[in-house]
Amino acid sequence: MDREKKIRQRIIVIAALCLLFFVMGMSIPLLMKKPSSESNTEMDKFETVYNLLTDKWYYANQVEELDNILIEKAISGMTMLEEDPHTNYFSLQEAEAFSQALSGSNVGVGFVYSPDDNSNFVIQDVFVGSSADTAGLQRGDIITQVDSMVCSENPSEDIVAYIQKKEGKQINVKFTRDGNEESVKVTPGSYDTTVICRMHDDYAEIVLSSFSEKTGETMAAALGRVQKAGIKKLILDLRDNTGGYLSAEVDVASSFLPEKTVVYKEKLADGTIKEYKTNDTYGQVELDQIVILQNENTASASEALIGALKDIIPDKITTVGLKTYGKGTEQVSIAFKDGTSIKYTVAEWLTPNETSINNVGFEPDVPVDSILVASVDYTEMAEDESFGPDSVHYNATALQTFLDFLGYPVDRTDMYFSPTSSQSLAQFQAENGLEATGVCDYQTWEVLKDKVVKEYNARKESMDEQRNKAIELLG
């Protein structure tokens, strides 16, 4: 079960591409081995600097594990090359986060929710193949109780934690649907978080948030539902899908393309080009029309999928939204024994017609702007953090955008927090039981975000011009 931290209801993943993982160990003595060739003077310099800092540096005794820190910083520096922003060294914590993001899985019952005014869980979407999906829970259902835990009487984090602890054990979920009280038995477990499918009378929507190991199977299941319903028109939402495994992209494309079709081509540093074709264990689902939603965060494997569909079945494809990111390179990740890892570029991928989109991206066939409130960036605020009028703060952009979205007057939406916007914030605070200081503190920020989430969820379908255009194009 996922509660979004961003306003838009989709799972965001890290903007990177990883093809496979290897295990490899490297020790400091190996790194510090003196080069045998006199031409390798840079390694001599490296060893000299390392020895000076560990043996003679004034602060050496004040830094714990200095030798490890120096090696870590040196390795990190080697991967910070202007030519390639996608080659990176990951610390233990970063490596774990990267691996988790690529896994595309979670433990729970498998729905995205937002709280209503009574702290009940309003289901926004259900993940295909999850236990919630299997149990028949639907978008719009309002979860009121899980076993003995009443949603309105318990923090949502506690309820989520309870559900996850019940993995493999049946729980009773009470909910309301169309005003009627119902209950269902659900068994929490692991589920794929990459595919959501919404069925309508004459078209279907599939939201694809990333490309994980199981995405191909889950996508095939979703398209199977579409096919069984006799639907021939599809909206494929790739907005904010930053990529994942190219092998998963091949699996997904295999459900759209004829057998033995080239999905993408791999160009190595020596100019060698290798073709990757459909995985024909997946059967093609015949569709008459596919409208793809894309934006500036649609990247990597998502772009590879767009390229394959536009090259192979161009008469069926229309893209709507904004220009995509433009990441046309492949990375491999190597994990070290201590849990850290390095991700480095090994090739460039090309569309079946050998088009490179690296640093270029795909322009949409039908340009449509995104909803500003759904795409504005911000950082989480610390509990002791605040900023007031006539000051500059990164979150001032989002703050003023949120106030404007809720109908409060603001005179700008950049990082400068103006006195006019401060007055509007004071009005918001007064109307929501907060001290009307006009200063944005942690409590005000959290209340404001919650208000925006609820208002956005209530209005998002009518506000989403990209999606509305896609529906219009389907006819």
Worst-scoring range by mean pLDDT, 2-11, 29-38, 274-283? 2-11
> How does the average pLDDT of the chain come out, rounded?
91
- Kindly state whether residue 430 falls inside one of the protein's structural domains: yes
Range of the domain at 395: 373-463
CATH of the domain at 175: 2.30.42.10
Please determine, for residue 5, whether its predicted confidence score (pLDDT) is greater than 50: no
**CA distances (Å), 436 to each of 314, 382, 432, 454, in order?**
56, 20, 9, 22
- Kindly state whether residue 436 falls inside one of the protein's structural domains: yes
**CA distances (Å), 351 to each of 271, 298, 385, in order?**
15, 16, 47
Strands 88-90 and 142-146 turn out to be unpaired
CATH of the domain at 415: 1.10.101.10
Please determine, for residue 9, whether its predicted confidence score (pLDDT) is greater than 90: no
Last residue of a domain, one of 149, 167, 191: 191
From its phi and psi, is residue 149 left (phi > 0), alpha (psi between -120 and 50) or beta? beta
Distance of alpha carbon 256 from alpha carbon 285, whole angstroms: 6
Distance of alpha carbon 310 from alpha carbon 319, whole angstroms: 9
Which residues make beta-bridge pairs with 221? none
Last residue of a domain, one of 157, 191, 225: 191
Please determine, for residue 274, whether its predicted confidence score (pLDDT) is greater than 60: yes
- Kindly state whether residue 213 falls inside one of the protein's structural domains: no
Distance of alpha carbon 428 from alpha carbon 408, whole angstroms: 8
Tens-place pLDDT, residues 116-140 = 989 999 999 999 999 999 999 999 9
Last residue of a domain, one of 123, 157, 191: 191
- Kindly state whether residue 310 falls inside one of the protein's structural domains: no
- Kindly state whether residue 120 falls inside one of the protein's structural domains: yes
The mean pLDDT value for 310-330 works out to 98
The mean pLDDT value for 276-281 works out to 96
Residue 466 contacts residue 320 (beta carbons within 8 Å): yes
pTM: 0.86
Tens-place pLDDT, residues 160-194 = 999 999 999 999 999 999 999 999 999 999 999 99
Please determine, for residue 32, whether its predicted confidence score (pLDDT) is greater than 90: no
Tens-place pLDDT, residues 381-437 = 999 999 999 999 999 999 999 999 999 999 999 999 999 999 999 999 999 999 999
What pLDDT sits at residue 101?
A: 84
- Kindly state whether residue 439 falls inside one of the protein's structural domains: yes
- Kindly state whether residue 8 falls inside one of the protein's structural domains: no
Domain total for the chain?
A: 2
Other Cβ atoms closer than 10 A to 431 = 12
**CA distances (Å), 45 to each of 15, 72, 78, 146, 241, in order?**
35, 17, 15, 63, 43
Give the phi and the psi of residue 60 in degrees, each rounded to 5: -55, -40
- Kindly state whether residue 203 falls inside one of the protein's structural domains: no
